Each structure stands twice: as C-alpha cells, then as structure tokens.
Amino acid sequence: MRTIKLGVKSSEVYYLNELLLKLKYSVLVSDSFGVATDKAVRDFQLKNSLVVDGVVGLKTWSALIEKTKVGFSSNSKLLSEQNLIDFANEHNLELAVVKAVNEVESGGKGFLVDGRPKILFEGHVFWEQLEARNINPVTYQNANTKDILYEKYTKKYYLGGTAEYTRLERAIKLNPDKKFSDAAKCAASWGLYQIMGYNSLSIGYNTIDEFVEKMYLNEGEHLKAFGLFLKANNLIKLLKDKKWADFALKYNGKAYKTNKYDEKLMKAYLKFKA
C-alpha cells in the first residue's frame, strides 16, 4: 500500500478515510487527505503506540487494517486481470486500451469496507426522477429533506462512504410508493465506474432493482455495466480508434479539458502498451 500524507489526493486516501470512519473518526470519505484526516491519523498513531507524524506508511496501514479487520487478498469482489481480458475480447479492444480506461475512469475501488457498492446520491437527480414519475417534488421539500431533494446541482451535501446510503435510505422512506424507491435508486451513481441508476434500463437491465442487485455482486459486474453503457452510447469505436479527446468529451463532458482526461488516457495507454 502506498505511503500517503497531508495534501495527497488518491484512491488510497479514499480507502484510508473509509477505515478511519469505521473507527469512528469524524472524516469525510473522499480521495483528499485534508486536515481532518491528518488529525485523525495522528490521533490513531498516538493511541496505537506509533510514531505520530501523520504519515500513513507500512506500520500505520498495518495497524489500521488490523484494527478494522479488513483484508485485501480475501476480497473476491475486486476486479481481476481476467475480467479486463474478457472485456477486451468481448468488445474487440486492445487490452492496453481497456487498462487505460479502467485506470483513468474508474473510482479506484467499487466497494465500501462494509461490502456494499460505492454510491453517490444526487438530490437534484432525485428531483428530476420524481418529476419523470409525475410526482411533484415541491410537496416533499422541507428543512429535513433539503440535503436529499433539491432542484439544482450542488456538491455541498455530499458525505461520501456509508453516509451516502443514509441519504439514499432517507429518500426512499419519504413515501412507501415503489415509485419513490425506484426514483431514489435511479438518483444514485453506482460502483467502480459510478454509472447513474437512471441509465439501467437504457443499457439493458430490466429494472433498476436488477441493476442494483448486480452492483452488489462484484467489480466484474461493474465493468460489465460500464461496457453496456459504452456500447449504448456509441463509445466503443472511439476507443478502438484511440480518439481520446472525443471519448473524454462524450464520457466526461466539456470539463475533460480542464481535468486533462484525454491526456491521462493517452499516457495510460502508452504505459500499458509498453
């Protein structure tokens, strides 16, 4: 496991925050190693007879994993090399292309430490999904729902980790009607590639519930859903032709230039090709 410290932004930091949250530290589950994470790490080190330096290296990682009883090798839900090979063969893509896309576009890990798939609940999408079902979202707007039901996009209510499930469950419980459950699940992004639930029907799943059940299985199913999404949106050919900018524009939107997704894809491809 990579050594990380204050200021680092990576998938390892996301996992670190998950472990700290499980140990009851008040941290936001994200990929950013901020002040709150640093404070929690130092407190953990102090309480576990470690050097208190805020650096998460081999000894601190070992202690964290031991305390949370989380193992890596036994996790059969993780994506395998064979999954990527099968995906490349199925879509007639170079393995290096598949690995590049997986490295750049995946969220690092598709599952939380408790075994549930990673999600992010979008309150503005929940609003749209209710309207699509002829339900007036304004009826359910109040002080207790402002963080799960809002008309315009905002990041300020994101909590990350298991707390996103709390938001999802609160949305579902607003009304026992199945329409609410479906709308709420459609308003969350799911798994390793963060496929929005509302895409489930258009990419080939019979129901949103079937899609969610598959997301609970393993990262191989996340990759399969990603492939269905790429195929439904005519993105496979762009990958075959290595049109990185065109692919990034359609998959990531106009912000791809700011985040240099096309350059990251090309560099990752050249690395795996070599």
CATH at 27:
1.10.101.10
Res 73: pLDDT: 42
Half-sphere exposure of 176 (CA within 13 A, CB side): 0
Query: Looking at residues 187-210, what average pLDDT do you find?
Result: 96
Grouping H, G, I as helix, E, B as strand and the rest as coil, residue 120 is: strand
Residue 25 domain boundaries:
11-68
Is the pLDDT at 71 greater than 70? The verdict is: no
Report the distance separating Cα 37 and Cα 8, nearest Å.
11
One-letter amino acid for residue 37 of the chain: T
pLDDT at 264: 92
Whether 77 has a pLDDT exceeding 50, the answer reads yes
Q: Is the separation of the CB atoms in 148 and 126 below 8 Å? A: yes
Containing 239, the helix (H) or strand (E) segment is helix 236-240
pLDDT at 186: 98
Higher per-residue confidence, 75 vs 123: 123
User: Would you say residue 49 lies in a domain?
Assistant: yes
Total domains in the chain come to 1
3-state secondary structure 67-118: HHCCCCCCCCCCCCHHHHHHHHHHCCCCHHHHHHHHHHHCCCCCECCCCCEC
246 within some domain = no
Number of residues assigned to the chain: 274
Mean pLDDT of 110-137: 93
29 lies in a domain? Answer: yes
pLDDT at 49: 86
Is residue 242 assigned to a domain? Answer: no
pLDDT band at 185 (very low <50, low <70, confident <90, very high): very high
- CA 192, CA 160: separation in Å to the nearest integer? 14
The reply to whether 44 falls in a domain is: yes
3 state SS of 121 = strand
| CB-based contacts of 212, cutoff 8 Å, min separation 6 | 185, 190, 197
Residue 137 DSSP class: G
Query: What is the band of 161 on the pLDDT scale with cuts at 50, 70, 90?
Result: confident
Q: Are 45 and 142 in contact (CB under 8 A)?
A: no
Both tokens assigned to 218: 């393993």
Angle among Cα 237, 243, 249 to the nearest 5 degrees reads 95
Contacts of 167 (CB under 8 A, 6+ apart): 121, 123, 147, 148, 157, 159
Question: Is 56 contained in some domain?
Answer: yes
How much is the pTM?
0.75
Torsion, Cα of 65, 71, 77, 78 (10° steps): 70
Using the predicted structure, report yes or no on whether residue 11 has a pLDDT greater than 90: no
In a domain, 4, yes or no: no
**48 in a structural domain:** yes
Q: Determine what percent of the chain is predicted with pLDDT higher than 70.
A: 97
